[in-house]
Amino acid sequence: MAMLIPLQIGRNGGNRERGLTLLEVIFALGIVGILVVAVYGAITSGMTSLRMARENLRATQILVEKTETLRLYDWDQLNTNFIPARFVSNYDVDTASTNSGVLYYGTITLSKPDLGTTYTNDMRLVTIRLDWTTGKLARTRQLSTYVCRTGIQNFVY
């Protein structure tokens, strides 16, 4: 007498012991691979944006610092090349060495403004420019302001 073994039938009427095919595994790995590449790209892009924002902030700090020092000079110091025309600043203010990290190369230019008024001789146009590189990308920022002979610099003395 032969014994009958009952088949286990799933909900769809197929055999429950069926596994994944090689094609399904390759397709799933492809989807996972695409997701990993997308996440890596997002992280890289975010880190680059953060780095550029930090460098922009440091450039703004340097421009404000140089502009604020102008208030401490009197008119004769401004007009006798007392202020250095070129300077180098670091990204990291705690590092005394100018050979580490991002370096900001700056220039300070003083000129007579072309305002067409009688008090042009009593004013100077000060332009502070910073240049630096992020990777291979050359970057620059500039700030211009006017200084007057009877301006705020006389307040300190």
Q: What is the pLDDT of residue 74?
A: 82
- Residue 66 covered by a domain: yes
- Residue 28 covered by a domain: yes
The residue length of the chain stands at 157
The edge-to-edge listing of strands for the beta sheet with 123-134 is 86-90, 103-111, 123-134, 137-148
At residue 53 the predicted structure's pLDDT band, cuts being 50, 70 and 90, is very high
Mean per-residue pLDDT, 25-52: 93
Distance CA 91, CA 49 (A): 16
Mean per-residue pLDDT, 132-152: 87
pLDDT tens for residues 3-28?
656 555 556 555 555 667 888 889 99
- Residue 42 covered by a domain: yes
At residue 126 the predicted structure's pLDDT band, cuts being 50, 70 and 90, is very high
- Residue 1 covered by a domain: no
- Residue 82 covered by a domain: yes
**Count of the separate structural domains present in the chain:** 1
Q: Is the pLDDT of residue 106 over 90?
A: yes
Beta bridge partners of 131: 105, 140
pLDDT tens for residues 84-101?
899 998 887 666 655 667
- Residue 121 covered by a domain: yes
Q: What is the pLDDT of residue 113?
A: 86
- Residue 143 covered by a domain: yes
Q: Domain range holding 113?
A: 22-155
- Residue 5 covered by a domain: no
Sign of CA dihedral 94, 106, 63, 131: negative
Q: What is the pLDDT of residue 4?
A: 59
Q: What is the pLDDT of residue 77?
A: 86
